[in-house]
Amino acid sequence: MENKNIYKKYKDKVIYQYDLSKFMADGYSKNIKRIQSANNDEKNMLNVVLLSEYRRRYALESLGTRIKPVVMFKSQKIDDSNDAEEKFNKLIKNLSVSSVINFIKSQRRIASKGDSNDEIQTLELAYKYYEENKDRLSEIISDIKREFSPNRIINANDTDRSAMLERGQYEALNSLESPDNLYRVVFAVAKLTEGWDVLNLYDIVRISDPVKTSGTKTQTNSEAQLIGRGARYNPFKLKGKASYKRRFSDYNIPSLLTETLHYHTINEPQYLKNLISSLDDMDLPTEIDGKNPLIDIEVKPSFKRTKLYKEGKIYYNDVVDISDSFYDSLEKYGIDNKSDISINWINIIEEFVYSEGVEGDLSAQLHDIELKFDKRFWTKAFARNSFYHFKELKRFVPQLNSMEEFLGEKWLNIDGGRRFFIRVAAGVNQEDLNPKDKLGAIELYLKEVEHQIRRGYSSKRGTNEFTGYPIKEYITNYRKRVPKYDTKNAFLPQKVSNYDFIHESYVYKNSVLNRTEKQLVDRVLNLVQDLKVEYEDVYLIRMDENMHRESPKGEQLKLHQFQENPDNIYYSGFQPDFILLIVNDEYYIQVFIEPKGEDRYLGEKWKEDLLLYLNDNEDNLVIDEEINNTKIKGLKFYFLDDKQGTINQLEKMVMSIKD
């Protein structure tokens, strides 16, 4: 404890000191980013609405889960807060396709006139989403008007609790995480700082205060406390399972949208200085949500002089077009529509676990119940999920002619003898389940189906034919940014940093890597000397997506599924993070290597399956061999401290080829 007075008072009661920055670094809270601009309140409001709705849609469309991101507009005075609510309601009422498009263009123009770092990373993701969905922007705006309508706004500015109770909003304010709670927006002053917690608070917007723009330290201390409360992690469910720590690697899109609290604030130097000081006092690490200075990543001149650079290639498999006629059943999306349906009825299980204090294996205390219901339940479930509105579903299921057909044999196959089971606690029986529970079970199953349909639908898929791309054209210099925390106490074991490499076998002068990636590079380079006993050239290449982000080459440098029946279908492909090239007079060996956080293993196991499939099906690979005896291999994921023995696998694999 840094505060000596507090430590003196509580030193006999302290069991273990767990600093807030360490708690955050260990993944038990949201990350915190600041969005600061010179916009007026109305423009900040529109930015946060576009971002909040994009969060909700990204979670649903890309992750297959539902979250309800809450926005809080914080003012110093009640009158200012009430005025802001009026402005907000008017803004939402007048929202249109043209106003959104024009707003995005104007925000980009403002960013382009300032420093190149002024572009706000997460807002730019939101802008791109709306631009890429212009064909359905009218429908999206209708959803925004519903999601942010006056009846989904809580005004917490009453001076007494009874006024809020009369409107039924006091309980709503303290149950914003509930699935039955539809409120998306809270207008409030500082009185909510203490004693109010909400896990699905993702955006806090500071309403301007012209009289006190600089912000006293007392005010910024209050704001820092609110930010700290808002940073509590939201344990949303992914594939039916809740997590109480961050799932995703920091700085990537899922983390920015589902595991990050954004504080939208004014761009005023003295106020920002006080705010950062207040955050430091709380040991609360934050950073600007912006693009930090670009770092040049350059290919070493020594590598450019090699024969491998001038004549060598890197290999990726070709793709073929998939016609809409291919998607004529759910099986084509990787969905089993023949077996019985079986899902974990999570809410009941969790309630049972918490109330009974059960630990360890739950399987002995759970059992399956068969549910039976008529088609009206399915029809209602379709109506409650916009993905299953026919027009939207048709985008992903082009061969579908009607929702009635979707219940049929080739699709959900509800009439085909499939039985529907839910797994519940041992004390729960059929009569304990009401119609709402049954509807919820169907909705949970449909969420799983939706996620797989989105994942499995693509216009292209991989083949077993591999094309070589010239190294001298595809391995190039590029630029990349490194996140920079502005508070002092950021404890980040997976912090991304820029590392220099002098080892001759590393192709780039430097690379931006996290801890796992850096450790992988070090261990591979330590192995080089042993490999060079048998092989003349050994080079490790970092395949960074930034290298060809805005070029068609980026799509060519992807590995795509080409197994006949993969356990999970992901046709979009991926770019393994590293390629190791090992060459002598007899062989040209390319090894794909993918470092991974263990927490992401199950969700991305399909990538490892594809990498290992290369080894098991070597005879079936058709390689564009201008280079004789080309071998294409893949390794198990590399975990921190090499928990899977990936380096040992690499050494054995390469040396066995020589034998």
Q: Is the pLDDT of residue 398 over 90?
A: yes
If pLDDT is split at 50, 70 and 90, which confidence band does 20 have?
A: low
- 190 and 262 in one domain? yes
Is 14 a domain residue?
no
- Look at residue 196 and give its three-state secondary structure: coil
If pLDDT is split at 50, 70 and 90, which confidence band does 545 have?
A: confident
If pLDDT is split at 50, 70 and 90, which confidence band does 659 have?
A: low
Which contacts qualify for 298-305: CB closer than 8 Å, 24 or more apart?
A: 298/477, 298/508, 298/509, 298/510, 299/475, 299/476, 299/477, 299/507, 299/508, 299/509, 300/506, 300/507, 300/508, 300/509, 302/504, 303/507, 303/539, 304/472
For residue 570, give the nearest of 579, 578, 562, 581 by alpha carbon: 562
Per-residue pLDDT reduced to its tens digit, 226-256:
788 788 888 888 877 778 788 886 667 888 8
Q: Is the pLDDT of residue 98 over 70?
A: yes
Task: State the pLDDT at residue 185.
Answer: 95
Per-residue pLDDT reduced to its tens digit, 282-322:
767 777 776 667 799 999 999 999 999 999 999 999 999 99
Is 236 a domain residue?
yes
- Look at residue 497 and give its three-state secondary structure: strand
Per-residue pLDDT reduced to its tens digit, 610-640:
999 999 999 999 998 777 899 999 999 999 9
For residue 262, give the nearest of 297, 286, 238 by alpha carbon: 286
Mean pLDDT of all residues in the chain? 84
Q: What is the CATH number of the domain that holds 74?
A: 3.40.50.300
Q: Which residue has the higher pLDDT, 357 or 318?
A: 318
- 154 and 58 in one domain? yes
- 209 and 278 in one domain? yes
If pLDDT is split at 50, 70 and 90, which confidence band does 542 have?
A: very high
pTM for this prediction: 0.64
- 486 and 436 in one domain? no
Assess contact for 65 and 243: CB atoms under 8 A. Answer: no
Distance of CA 449 to the CA centre of its chain: 19
Region for residue 645 given its phi and psi (left: phi exceeds 0; alpha: psi -120 to 50; beta: otherwise): left
Task: State the pLDDT at residue 113.
Answer: 61
Instruction: State how far the Cα of 298 lies from the Cα of 282, in Å rounded to an integer.
Output: 40
Per-residue pLDDT reduced to its tens digit, 597-609:
887 788 789 999 9
**Range with top average pLDDT, 155-164, 222-231, 404-413, 569-578:** 404-413
Task: State the pLDDT at residue 436.
Answer: 87
CB burial of residue 425 (10 Å; 0-12, 13-18, 19+) = buried
Assess contact for 229 and 284: CB atoms under 8 A. Answer: no
Which residue, 425, 456, 487, sits at the end of a domain?
456
- 73 and 171 in one domain? yes
- 602 and 633 in one domain? yes
Task: State the pLDDT at residue 358.
Answer: 37
Task: State the pLDDT at residue 498.
Answer: 93
User: What is the tally of structural domains in the chain?
Assistant: 3
Per-residue pLDDT reduced to its tens digit, 53-65:
999 999 999 888 8
- 308 and 199 in one domain? no
Instruction: State how far the Cα of 457 lies from the Cα of 572, in Å rounded to an integer.
Output: 9
- 119 and 56 in one domain? yes
- 34 and 102 in one domain? yes
What is the percent of the chain where pLDDT is above 90?
51
- 240 and 359 in one domain? no
Q: Taken in order 126, 132, 135, 136, is the CA torsion positive or negative?
A: negative
For residue 446, give the nearest of 368, 489, 388 by alpha carbon: 388
Instruction: State how far the Cα of 22 lies from the Cα of 369, in Å rounded to an integer.
Output: 43
Is 484 a domain residue?
yes
Instruction: State how far the Cα of 27 lies from the Cα of 173, in Å rounded to an integer.
Output: 26
- 536 and 582 in one domain? yes
Q: Which domain holds residue 637?
A: 295-322+459-658
Task: State the pLDDT at residue 350.
Answer: 37
Task: State the pLDDT at residue 24.
Answer: 72
Per-residue pLDDT reduced to its tens digit, 260-270:
999 898 777 67
Mean predicted confidence (pLDDT) in 412-430: 86
Q: Is the pLDDT of residue 164 over 60?
A: no
Q: With both helix axes pointing from N to C terminus, report the angle between 78-93 and 137-147 in degrees, rounded to the nearest 10.
A: 150
Is 7 a domain residue?
no
For residue 154, give the nearest of 181, 190, 193, 191 by alpha carbon: 181
> In angstroms, what is the C-alpha Rg of the chain?
27
If pLDDT is split at 50, 70 and 90, which confidence band does 490 have?
A: very low
- Look at residue 632 and give its three-state secondary structure: strand
Is 1 a domain residue?
no
- 315 and 279 in one domain? no
If pLDDT is split at 50, 70 and 90, which confidence band does 13 have?
A: very low
Per-residue pLDDT reduced to its tens digit, 34-84:
888 888 999 999 999 999 999 999 999 988 889 999 999 998 888 899 999
Which residue, 422, 456, 490, sits at the end of a domain?
456
Per-residue pLDDT reduced to its tens digit, 21-33:
666 766 778 888 8
Least confident of 254-258, 271-275, 575-579: 271-275
Is 481 a domain residue?
yes
Q: Is the pLDDT of residue 351 over 50?
A: no
Is 94 a domain residue?
yes
Which residue, 415, 440, 456, sits at the end of a domain?
456
